[in-house]
């Protein structure tokens, strides 16, 4: 005979009402009690009836997540963190991989009642789907990429501040012949990191020339092509700053192919501090944004939005840190 919630209550030494609260998303219950009930469920093999819970609460217990190209290692890392965070709050996760059309599919899922809300990681200010979702007051959170002025909850690294740390670091070590490689200018990550970097350089007396700024796609192939062009046209460059780690890896490959020594001739710096950045073969100096904290904040804000749809939108910016490695000769920050 299948285990019941009454069996869980008896095993955990709590009331059946407490078990119900633990199984109901958004219902307050202490972490100690939640852990006791979840442990009891695991011991006796209890599987919640999600269909029954949906009928009772009006919620599916499922959150949608939209990500971009999984060829960028940042997104699998963010997905993993979101999965852990949502699982800890007793929610399932369903994923759409793409920009554009898949954004609309995720919003359709909200209207159809197959997900309770959506976490977007890839929108831009020109997203028509986002504009319609905001008009319809759909429960959603933007994480990593943000949209200025959007009336919704948003979580990101303090990108301008993080890029300013790079500018301070390079100038302090006399690396002032600098080029910058970014992804699409429509992405907030590109715009904010370039803006913060160039503004800080200008305040330090070393403005960034327009001809030393190049944009492409957030792919290794595009990064190689852009880095090769910059290094060929500007042989005096002694530092190459990239708006994410994937582009920085491309810059490292390009420099090696061109016989340019890193870090002796050229420093390369990225942004994100994805797991591969610490690999000894790459050893990339970069700005760290805490992916686990990004995921936790996005989960917290979305669940709070589901509980209180009319509360004011919240913008969270997480403190970045500069991580120094071999690609800048371990020069101290």
Tell me how far apart the terminal alpha carbons of the chain are, to the nearest angstrom: 63
Confirm if 229 and 219 have CB atoms less than 8 A apart.
no
DSSP string over 262-309? TTTT-EEEEEE--GGGGSTTT--EEEE--HHHHHHHHHHHHHHHHH-T
pTM: 0.81
- Per DSSP, the three-state class of 1 is coil
User: Distance between CA 175 and CA 81 in Å, rounded?
Assistant: 35
pLDDT at site 131? 77
pLDDT at site 7? 85
DSSP string over 96-126? EE-STHHHHHHHHHHHHTS-SEEEESS--TT
pLDDT at site 95? 87
- Distances, alpha carbon 303 to alpha carbons 119, 283, 292, in Å: 11, 37, 17
Domains of the chain, with CATH numbers? 5-57 (1.10.260.40), 62-157+291-321 (3.40.50.2300), 159-289+322-328 (3.40.50.2300)
304, with CB counted inside 10 A (0-12, 13-18, 19+), is middle
pLDDT at site 59? 65
The per-residue pLDDT for range 94-122, each reduced to its tens digit, is 888 765 455 666 667 666 667 888 898 88
β-strand 239-242 against 178-182: which pairing, if any?
Answer: parallel
The per-residue pLDDT for range 215-230, each reduced to its tens digit, is 999 999 999 999 999 9
Mark the ranges of the chain whose per-residue pLDDT is less than 50. Answer: 51-52, 54-56, 100
pLDDT at site 51? 45
């Amino acid at each position: 005979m299948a285990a019941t919630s009454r069996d869980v209550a008896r095993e955990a030494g709590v009331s059946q009402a407490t078990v119900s609260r633990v199984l109901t998303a958004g219902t307050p219950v202490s972490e100690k009690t939640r852990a006791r009930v979840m442990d009891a469920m695991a011991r006796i093999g209890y599987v919640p009836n999600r269909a029954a819970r949906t009928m009772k609460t009006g919620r599916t217990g499922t959150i949608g997540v939209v990500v971009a190209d999984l060829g960028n290692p940042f997104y699998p890392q963010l997905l993993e963190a979101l999965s852990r965070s949502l699982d800890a709050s007793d929610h399932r996760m369903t994923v759409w991989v793409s920009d554009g059309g898949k954004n609309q599919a995720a919003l359709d899922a909200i209207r159809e009642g197959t997900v309770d809300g959506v976490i977007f990681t890839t929108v831009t200010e020109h997203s028509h789907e986002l504009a319609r979702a905001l008009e319809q007051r759909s429960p959603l959170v933007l994480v990593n990429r943000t949209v200025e002025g959007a009336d919704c909850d948003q979580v990101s690294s303090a990108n301008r501040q993080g890029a300013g740390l790079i500018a301070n670091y390079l100038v302090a070590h006399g690396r002032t012949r600098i080029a910058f490689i970014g992804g699409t200018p429509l992405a907030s990550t590109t715009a904010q990191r370039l803006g913060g970097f160039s503004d800080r350089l200008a305040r330090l007396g070393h403005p960034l020339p327009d001809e030393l700024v190049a944009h492409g796609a957030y792919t290794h192939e595009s990064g190689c092509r852009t880095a090769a062009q910059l290094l060929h046209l500007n042989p005096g460059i002694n530092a190459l700053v990239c708006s994410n780690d994937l582009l920085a890896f491309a810059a490292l490959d390009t420099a090696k192919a061109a016989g340019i020594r890193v870090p002796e001739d050229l420093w390369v710096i990225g942004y994100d501090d994805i797991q591969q950045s610490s690999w000894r073969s790459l050893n990339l100096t970069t700005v760290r944004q805490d992916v686990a904290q990004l995921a936790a904040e996005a989960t917290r804000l979305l669940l709070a939005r589901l509980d209180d749809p009319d509360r004011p939108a919240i913008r969270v910016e997480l403190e970045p840190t500069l991580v120094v490695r071999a690609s800048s000769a371990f020069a101290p920050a």
